[in-house]
Amino acid sequence: MRKRLCNVGPRRALAATLVKPGQYELREYPLPEPGPGCVLVKMEMSGICGTDKHTFQGYVTQYGDRKLEFPIIQGHENVGTIAAIGGDGRTRTLRV
């Protein structure tokens, strides 16, 4: 069993949040209720990509001159387990 990093309330989660270039803070967020046909994933790991690294360094204009706004929870290369299924709990197709 994993040891918790700190006390987090029920239905809450911690995320490393990039609050400005070069500065992360560990912040607490409410867990969403998954809607019909959606799932809530309990994250085990999340990777960062080169774009995330550039954002950390302060390069915030990306992808066709879209300017990113802070705070940002980075990472989109995720590994986790399904913690909840929204709606009636049934799904016709599960796409990963």
Phi-psi region of 29 (alpha: psi -120 to 50; beta: other; left: phi over 0): beta
Report which residue type is found at 42.
K
Q: 7-21: per-residue pLDDT in tens? A: 666 788 899 999 999
* pTM recorded for the entire structure: 0.75
CATH pick for 12-85 out of 3.90.180.10, 3.40.50.300, 3.30.2080.10, 3.30.300.30 = 3.90.180.10
Question: Which has the minimum average pLDDT: 23-37, 38-52, 81-95?
Answer: 81-95
* Contacting residues for 10 by C-beta, under 8 A, at least 6 apart: none
Query: Residue 52's closest CA among 80, 67, 71, 72?
Result: 72
User: Which of residues 89 and 15 earns the better pLDDT score?
Assistant: 15
